[in-house]
Amino acid sequence: QVQLVESGGGLVQAGGSLKLSCKASGSIFVIMGWYRQAPGKQRELVATITLRGTTDYADSVKGRFTISRDNAKNTVDLQMNSLKPEDTAVYYCNGRSVGVYWGKGTLVTVSS
């Protein structure tokens, strides 16, 4: 059974930092990533990383967020620095190989 389980969300003040982690099981994903969905908005890409470590970021988070993965542990992390209130959203872990899989999400709230 394929599972993606996120952890690390919470409440933080603007300018602060949080680290999200996602533990995958049941599959090795060619691409892993983080997406987010703010209230009333569509889910959007935050960052992705391939098995070889190639990364891609949304323009809104470049220079502030860093995605990393540990292939041996089958985990992907998202280090978020200089957080802004507009980063408030439910963050979802995503894994892609033959199929596409999602975690249940973890809430990040950034207060001003």
**CA dihedral sign, ordered 3, 21, 33, 68:** negative
pLDDT digits (tens, 9 = 90+) for 47-65: 999 999 999 999 999 999 9
44-82 as b/e: b if 16+ CB within 10 A: eebbbbeeeeeeebeeebeeebbbebeeeebbbbbebee
Query: Helices (DSSP H) in 1-79: which residue ranges?
Result: none
Which tokens belong to 87? 């980063």
- Please say whether the beta carbons of 13 and 36 come within 8 A: no
Mean pLDDT of 6-32: 96
* Res 98 pLDDT > 90: no
Mean pLDDT of 13-32: 96
Helix, strand or coil for residue 83?
coil
Per-residue pLDDT, 23: 97
**CA dihedral sign, ordered 55, 60, 61, 62:** positive
